[in-house]
Amino acid sequence: MRLKSLAAALALPALGLAFAAPASAFCGFYVAKADTDLFNDASKVVLARDGERTVITMASDFRGDVSEFAMVVPVVDIPTEEQIHVANPALIDHIDAYTAPRLVEYYDENPCEIARRQKMMEDMAMMPAPTAAGMMEEAEELGVTIEAEYEVGEYDILILSAEESDGLITWLNNNGYKIPDGAEETVGAYLKRDMKFFVAKVNLERHDGSSMLRPLQVAYEDEDFMLPIRLGTVNAEGKQELFVFALTREGRVETKNYRTVKLPSDMDVPIYIKDEFADFYKDMFAHQVEKQNGKAVFMEYAWDMSWCDPCAAEPLSRSELRELGVMWLDEDTDDDMRPGFGPQPVDAFVTRLHVRYDAETFPEDLEFQVTGDRSNYQGRYVLRHPWRGDYGECEAAGDYAVSLVERWDDEANELAKLTGRDFDAIKTKMASLGYSDAILNNVSVEPKEKKNWWQKLWGN
């Protein structure tokens, strides 16, 4: 009896959301830099959270026959029509681009120039300059109640409650929502927690005919800050891909019931990665997931929304943030408004989390918590363009050529560690592009003795 009341207490306040992801409900993901489909079947979710107020934006890059599109999301409260909204898909692309892992490039200077300048200016250290880079009746028979029915944008939305998971699943399947086999237990668990089901389909009459579907948004208040993912793992083929963009006033968002780790960042990688950044990111992510035994949530970006460095895309504007659900922007009365003076600082912190999951590695729904940590973090990979010229021109140029060869070794090593690719294959590829010790062939300077650290220290 005690237990029952415990469980009931859980079910009441929770408004959780999950994707049934029937076959192709969500797919496609574009990274800013590469602008290529990287991860198929990826769901993208923006969560704006302040206290208990939450706005969830669920995006899909669904392409194809829109009559096939369906979305099944468990919720607890029955939202009113005003709490549901459709957003501009460009918003998701923008926040995706702004937070995407990025490449930065640096160009080495002519080492002879540097040596000359150093001679002139004695101890001045030089830094290379960075550059940027008949429903009702059937329902009743099956014990399913249609609690509310809305038409929002191109979507027909129903809020369903049910007595039994079997009845609900039968009803959903009969009405064109493809619920995978084996979902009874998961659906049943949500129903026992007194949750309702938010289901959406595209109304072809109200759809403008484009293959692009706009993201659906729901505003709600709840103590729980979570994202039910279990329906998506039922009978899923392979791993699911999910991106969560969390917007808060206070700081970074982390998962409470799963380990959050930072995607390795700030490595020097070979120049050729520039042409295959998408593949690099994909391989690296897969390798890092493997290293964590598939059991971690990756933080790819955490940053104050007022700025970026380097910017993969401009920060989101106030109106964009507002549309994504950042409800506190206009509430801060002490905000000094300075219209017309460029972008204003906004009190919003974004966290980009990337999860690859299945029922085995992520058995439970994702639970988040907002932290007060405002440290900036970004997935950033560095390309260093060598200076090309006559390495025999001066002694410094010869030294530089030797250091280049060492640097390229390090870059190959970093790439191998990040992606799990074969070190020798990387070296071969680099050599074919002119990044190998072959550059030393033309260097006429005699190989110098390697200096001891104390010699480097005091220069004697």
Which of 25, 75, 42 minimizes the C-alpha distance to 245?
42
Distance CA 144, CA 132 (A): 56
- The distance of closest approach from Cβ of residue 413 to another protein in the complex, given in angstroms and rounded to an integer, is 21
- The distance of closest approach from Cβ of residue 361 to another protein in the complex, given in angstroms and rounded to an integer, is 10
Distance CA 417, CA 70 (A): 40
Which of 89, 143, 188, 389 binds another protein (CB under 8 A)? It is 188
Residue 293 contacts another protein per CB under 8 A:
yes
Please count the residues of this chain forming the interface with another protein, following the rule CB under 8 A. 40
* Coil vs helix vs strand at 237: coil
- Select the span of 84-92, 127-135, 181-189, 198-206 touching another protein (CB under 8 A): 181-189
Distance CA 391, CA 224 (A): 63
* Residue span 332-371 as binding mask against another protein, x where in contact by CB under 8 A, dash where not: ----------------------------x--xx----xxx
Distance CA 105, CA 416 (A): 20
- Residue 368 tokens read as 């988040």
- The distance of closest approach from Cβ of residue 453 to another protein in the complex, given in angstroms and rounded to an integer, is 26
Q: Look at strands 144-152 and 155-162 and give their pairing.
A: antiparallel
Residue 267 contacts another protein per CB under 8 A:
no
Which of 31, 34, 29, 30 minimizes the C-alpha distance to 276?
34
- The distance of closest approach from Cβ of residue 277 to another protein in the complex, given in angstroms and rounded to an integer, is 23
- Select the span of 7-15, 22-30, 39-47, 172-180 touching another protein (CB under 8 A): 7-15
Which of 266, 362, 344, 253 minimizes the C-alpha distance to 306?
344
- Residue 58 tokens read as 């669920």
Which C-beta is closer to another protein: that of 7 or that of 135? 7
Residues 9-68 interacting with another protein (rule: CB under 8 A): 9-10, 13
| Phi, psi values for residue 316, rounded to 5° | -70, 145
Residue 182 contacts another protein per CB under 8 A:
no
- The distance of closest approach from Cβ of residue 186 to another protein in the complex, given in angstroms and rounded to an integer, is 8
Q: What is the dihedral of CA 358, 359, 363, 369, to 10 degrees?
A: 30
Which C-beta is closer to another protein: that of 110 or that of 161? 161
- The distance of closest approach from Cβ of residue 76 to another protein in the complex, given in angstroms and rounded to an integer, is 13
Which C-beta is closer to another protein: that of 293 or that of 460? 293
Distance CA 392, CA 444 (A): 6
Which of 18, 19, 39 minimizes the C-alpha distance to 27?
39
Q: Report whether 73 contacts 351 (CB < 8 A).
A: no
Which of 295, 388, 451, 456 binds another protein (CB under 8 A)? It is 295
To 10 degrees, what angle do helices 423-432 and 395-419 make?
140
Which of 374, 385, 388, 456 binds another protein (CB under 8 A)? It is 374
- The distance of closest approach from Cβ of residue 192 to another protein in the complex, given in angstroms and rounded to an integer, is 5
- Select the span of 103-111, 188-196, 396-404, 436-444 touching another protein (CB under 8 A): 188-196
- Select the span of 91-99, 221-229, 237-245, 338-346 touching another protein (CB under 8 A): 221-229
- Select the span of 90-98, 116-124, 257-265, 393-401 touching another protein (CB under 8 A): 257-265
Which of 356, 91, 353 minimizes the C-alpha distance to 244?
353
| Phi, psi values for residue 358, rounded to 5° | -145, 180
Distance CA 175, CA 169 (A): 10
- Select the span of 80-88, 153-161, 293-301, 403-411 touching another protein (CB under 8 A): 293-301
- Select the span of 61-69, 138-146, 251-259, 332-340 touching another protein (CB under 8 A): 251-259
Which of 108, 224, 409, 437 binds another protein (CB under 8 A)? It is 224
Residue whose structure tokens are 């922007």 = 329
Which of 256, 385, 448, 451 binds another protein (CB under 8 A)? It is 256
Q: Look at strands 366-370 and 70-75 and give their pairing.
A: unpaired
Residues 85-114 interacting with another protein (rule: CB under 8 A): none
Region class of 91: left (phi > 0), else alpha (psi between -120 and 50), else beta = alpha
- Select the span of 93-101, 152-160, 289-297, 380-388 touching another protein (CB under 8 A): 289-297
Which of 96, 254, 320, 411 binds another protein (CB under 8 A)? It is 254
Which of 99, 260, 288, 419 binds another protein (CB under 8 A)? It is 260
Q: What is the dihedral of CA 79, 83, 86, 89, to 10 degrees?
A: -100
Give burial (CB, 10 Å; 0-12/13-18/19+) of 350.
buried
Which C-beta is closer to another protein: that of 14 or that of 25? 14
Taking the alpha carbons at both ends of the chain, their separation in whole angstroms is: 83
Q: Which residues bind another protein (CB under 8 A)?
A: 3-4, 6-7, 9-10, 13, 185, 188-189, 192-193, 223-225, 250-251, 254-262, 292-293, 295-296, 299, 360, 363-364, 369-374
